[in-house]
Amino acid sequence: MDSLFALIPLIIVFPFSGVVIGVFFGRRLMPHKDSIGPGLVASILAGASFVIAVLMFIALQGHPEGVEVPLATWMNITAGDRVLDIPWTFKIDTLSSVMMLVVAGVGTLIHIYAIGYMQGDIDEQIAKRGFEGDEAFDFKRRRYSKFFTFFNLFLGSMLVLVTANNYLMMFVGWELVGLCSYLLIGFWFDDPVKGVYNSESGKKAFIVNRIGDFGMLIAIMLIFWTFGTVQFDDVFARAECMQAESQEACLTVSAGEAVHEEAEGEHGEAARPYLTPVALGKIGTVTLGVVVTIITLCLLLGATGKSAQIPLFVWLPDAMAGPTPVSALIHAATMVTAGIYMITRSNVLYAMAPISGTAVAIVGAATALVAGTIAVAQFDIKRVLAYSTISQLGFMIAAVGLGGYVAGIFHLATHAFFKALLFLSAGSVIHGMEHGHHHAAHHGHGGDDPDFDPQDMRYMGGLKDKMPITTWVYIIGSLALAGIPPLAGFWSKDEILLDASLNNQLVYVLLSISAFFTAFYMGRQVFMVFFGRARTEAADHAVESKPMMTTPLIILAALSVLGGLLNLPGLHSLAHWLEHSVAHAHTAEFNISIAAISTLLGLIAIGLSWLLYGRKPVEAGQADPLRSTGPVFTFLNRKWYWDELYDTVFIKPYVWLGEFLAVTIDWKFWHDFVHDRIIGDAFRGWGAILSQPIDQGVVDGAVNGIAQLVDGSSQELRKTQTGYVRNYALAVALGVVLVLGFLAFRFLM
């Protein structure tokens, strides 16, 4: 069984192979317009990664403490008589195993779903552009293969992140998923209608995440400065040692190889020792606590970017600009879970910094409440789910901030099941609405509405009779998200609420209110989309999606029902599994009071949503019942004016500063004044001085004067050239007289 660990590199080799295949052979895999070659290859390779994840889970049964599998030397930096050696090493333990199973498993289902979804999505784009024949086929072949190339890259990048054994290697995956989000969110950057918005959404996600990544980089630098290493086990071992023992004694503390241990090099000579902590011997125990607090707060900043928490959550709703499978992959299985995983992996550091833990919990709880209230007043079916994701991530962040790492990871896994289900079901609804819209347009039933939006819930209604499979799986996902027993979300959300009730009453109250809003906005969405009468011809002619899309939905629905078995009270299977890799893992015993309160809140919220939207369904053209709240609804519909606030506080001043620097400073001052007036005028002035009085007056004057002198003297000497012999004889005679006179004068003297 130990030999299975050697297979771990394949978990990233498979999806990255899909990238290579997609780049060089993607179009050839699609010989005709209905072929699914690129999607099939990408899905098979994603499934192969899931198989490796399963094999790692099996192998860990005999080694729950985990192993590290080196692949190659990644960094080898010499500094004087020391060397920093960071190998590319895979960390296989119970925590990374859970993440691998979730990422690869749910990711594979989303890949399979995308095979069918992207066929229709690309056909929709072809219709918008008016392409036909070979032009349409070439467009479809290029975009279909490109999408699955990016999709495989996204999956591989996330697997790099969760299998890393050090912060730098994790940061590589961290940045790659950020790049992939930019590529996939803005995938339809050239859409004839929404192209600019899609492009701006991709840039927004990329830029906002760079702010969080700056905090992540600072944290990594401080970790290396403080502990002399970035490898997880070594950092945590030294941190605990430096807190409990003398710092000098920690010089040789390392989970793997001692810092000063020497090994023979390839030529037999003694290798140089590793770099030791710069801070070692320079900071005391109190200062160590301050440094670790700063490190963990910087890590929190990174998590607020990737996991969309206040204040960096504003990119995630706009991520809906990408195709629906992208939304599912980002929201359910990959990018947004990175922050929760990173904090859980760093649990030893957060245990040393209680202030940071409290900050994490409050940020998470506040985000859960804010995003939950915003979701109540949205009309876009995917945007409701986007704010729901932000809210649920707040639950997870709050849990790990309170030290409830098991609860956080438990909810991460179950949320991946039902949120992937909801997003993919939403994509099925959108496809059905687009089909109904085209049918209505072709048959003259009012399908030419220029304002029609297949994602707007106000255009839906009555879909339960048109799309029965999608309806039932959506209801299952909604109930799981609302925390209704015995579905998966009930067990994981209840565990978070239980941890909050035991550790921080403020967090518990905020999360309980958030849970109420969760159940309400999901009830509102279900009643608006699936019940009542069709509010448009598009909804009236919607059709169920193909089995290629509905099969993954059924599997995810089953996982949403059974996911609670991962950590049932009394068994605590996940808790026992994680305690091998999460030093501060713990789980509280089931509390019937907490469970009853949360369930009652959920049922009341669903009942309220039925009173407003189910008992008397919203008719076509009728205002949303919540609009009666006036400014409250407007405030929530405008998302607490977060975008306007950021636009006023950050974007407009930034644009003004950019224009000031570009126009006033660079162009008017530096170019016009400094270059043209000071440098240019001075150059021209000195040029005029040097060219007129100096060059022409002195230099040319001297040269011309010599020329004139020569010319004048030559004119006078010409007069001596008469042509008469007597004149020349006279001149010779005079010359002889002068020579004789000179000689006589010298002789007499």
Answer positive or negative: Cα dihedral of 308, 310, 312, 315: positive
| Section 37-51 average pLDDT | 94
Q: What does the mean pLDDT of the chain come to?
A: 87
Q: Which amino acid is at 665?
A: I
Specify whether 605 is located in the same domain as 653.
no
pLDDT of residue 347: 94
Considering only residues 102 and 717, tell me which one the structure prediction assigns the higher pLDDT.
102
- Choice among 28-42, 130-144, 558-572, 681-695 with the minimum mean pLDDT: 681-695
pLDDT for res 679: 83
Contact 355, 296 (CB under 8 A): no
Domain end (from 575, 608, 634): 634
Q: Are residues 517 and 436 in the same domain?
A: yes
Same domain, 402 and 486: yes
User: Would you say residue 279 has pLDDT above 60?
Assistant: no
* Domain end point (choices 634, 655, 671): 634
For the stretch 388-431, pLDDT in tens is: 999 999 999 999 999 999 999 999 999 999 999 999 999 999 98
Task: Give the 3-state secondary structure of residue 164.
Answer: strand
- Give the pair of three-digit tokens for residue 709: 């002198």
Question: 255 falls in which pLDDT band (50, 70, 90)?
Answer: very low
Mean pLDDT of 124-142: 87
Q: Tokens 């492009």 correspond to what residue? A: 199
Write the single-letter amino acid at 231.
Q
Please give the single-letter amino acid code of residue 663: V
Domain boundary among 634, 666, 695: 634
**What is residue 160's predicted lDDT score, i.e. its pLDDT?**
95
pLDDT (0 to 100) of residue 481: 95
Do 691 and 736 fall into the same domain?
Answer: no
Dihedral class, residue 586 (left if φ above 0, else alpha if ψ from -120 to 50, else beta): beta
> Using an 8 Å Cβ cutoff, are 90 and 8 in contact?
yes
Q: How many CA atoms lie within 13 A of 601 on its CB side?
A: 23
Q: How far is CA 377 from CA 172, 317, 381, 425, 633, in A?
A: 38, 14, 11, 20, 6
Query: Is 82 among the domain residues?
Result: no
Q: Is residue 647 part of a domain?
A: yes
Condensed to tens digits (0 to 9), the pLDDT of residues 730-743 reads 888 988 999 988 88
Residue 260 pLDDT > 80: no
How far is residue 448 from each of residues 102, 128, 452, 572, measured CA to CA in Å?
42, 13, 8, 56
Q: Is residue 50 part of a domain?
A: no
Same domain assignment for residues 629 and 697: no
* pLDDT at 558 (0 to 100): 95
pLDDT at 282 exceeding the cut of 60 = no
Strands, E assignment, 211-359: none
**Of 11 and 227, which is predicted with more confidence?**
11
**Mean pLDDT within 76-102:** 84
Strand-pair partners of 91: 68
| Helix and strand totals (H; E) in the chain | 28, 2
Q: Which amino acid makes up residue 578?
A: L
Tens digits of residue pLDDT in 496-522: 999 999 999 999 999 999 999 999 999
Nearest to 319 by CA among 184, 513, 142, 147: 184
How many distinct structural domains can be found in the chain?
3
Q: Which residue has the tokens 């808790």?
A: 575
In a domain, 605, yes or no: yes
Say if residues 623 and 616 touch (Cβ distance below 8 Å): no
pLDDT of residue 510: 96
Tell me if 198 sits within 8 A of 189, measured CB to CB. Answer: yes
Q: What is the pLDDT of residues 458-491, one digit of tens each?
A: 989 889 989 999 999 999 999 999 999 999 999 9
The answer as to whether 543 is a domain residue is: yes
pLDDT at 254 over 80: no
Token look-up 């000031």 returns: 660
Domain assignment present for residue 76? The answer is no
pTM, two decimals, is: 0.86
In contact, 1 and 58? CB cutoff 8 Å: yes
> pLDDT digits over 534-583, tens only?
888 888 888 998 888 899 999 999 999 999 999 988 888 999 999 999 98
pLDDT (0 to 100) of residue 283: 59
- Whether 429 contacts 529, CB under 8 Å: yes
Answer with the residue of higher pLDDT: 636 or 248. 636
pLDDT digits (tens, 9 = 90+) for 308-318: 899 999 999 98
User: Contact, 25 vs 86, CB < 8 A?
Assistant: no
Q: Please report the pLDDT score of residue 705 as a whole number.
A: 85
Above 70 in pLDDT, residue 681?
yes
81: confidence class by pLDDT, cuts 50, 70, 90: low
Kind of pairing, strands 82-92 and 67-79?
antiparallel
Give the rounded percent of residues in the chain with a pLDDT score beyond 90: 51
Give 646: exposed, middle or buried? Use CB within 10 Å, 0-12, 13-18, 19+. middle
**pLDDT for position 708:** 84
- Between the alpha carbon of residue 658 and those of residues 4, 208, 461, 655, 665, the distances in Å are 55, 18, 47, 5, 10
Looking at per-residue confidence, does 675 or 233 come out higher? Answer: 233
Domain with 736, as residue range(s), is: 719-749
pLDDT on residue 614: 87
Of residues 527, 511, 491, the one with CA closest to residue 601: 511
Choose between 224 and 247: higher pLDDT.
Answer: 224
Residues 607 and 695 in one domain: no
Q: Please check the confidence at residue 619 and state whether its pLDDT lies above 90.
A: no
Q: For residues 428 and 116, is the Cβ–Cβ distance under 8 A?
A: no
Residue 84: inside a domain: no
Residue 247 pLDDT level (bands cut at 50, 70, 90): low
CA distance linking residue 209 with residue 315, whole number of Å = 8
Per-residue confidence band for 268, with pLDDT thresholds at 50, 70 and 90 = very low
d(Cα 564, Cα 568) in Å, to the nearest integer? 6
pLDDT of residue 246: 52
DSSP codes of every residue in 421-457: HHHHHHHHHHHHHHHHHHHHHHTTSSTT-TT--TTBG
pLDDT at 38 over 70: yes
Give the model's pLDDT for residue 83: 66
What is the predicted pLDDT for the residue at 277? 55
Indicate if 739 and 614 belong to the same structural domain: no
Do 725 and 678 share a domain, yes or no? no
The pLDDT tens digits for 696-707 are 777 777 888 888
Q: Are residues 712 and 589 in the same domain?
A: no
pLDDT digits (tens, 9 = 90+) for 299-357: 999 999 999 899 999 999 988 888 999 988 887 777 888 999 999 999 999 999 999 99
CB 473, CB 554: distance < 8 Å = yes
Structure confidence at residue 245 (pLDDT) = 60
Quote the crossing angle between the two packed helices 338-345 and 285-306, to the nearest 10°: 160
Asked whether residue 117 is domain-assigned, the answer is no
pLDDT confidence band for 79 (50 / 70 / 90): low
- DSSP line for 497-539: HHHHHHH-HHHHHHHHHHHHHHHHHHHHHHHHHHSS--SSHHH
Query: 257 falls in which pLDDT band (50, 70, 90)?
Result: very low
* 152 phi and psi angles, rounded to 5 deg: -65, -40
Q: For helices 405-442 and 94-129, give the axis angle rounded to 10 degrees.
A: 20
pLDDT of the residue at 727: 80
Indicate whether 515 and 434 sit together in one domain: yes
- pLDDT of 238 reads 86
Q: Collect all residues with Cβ–Cβ distance below 8 Å to 718 and sequence separation of at least 6.
A: none
Specify whether 591 is located in the same domain as 463: yes
Band of residue 261 on the pLDDT scale cut at 50, 70, 90: very low
Whether residues 745 and 707 fall in one domain = no
Residue 196 pLDDT > 80, yes or no?
yes
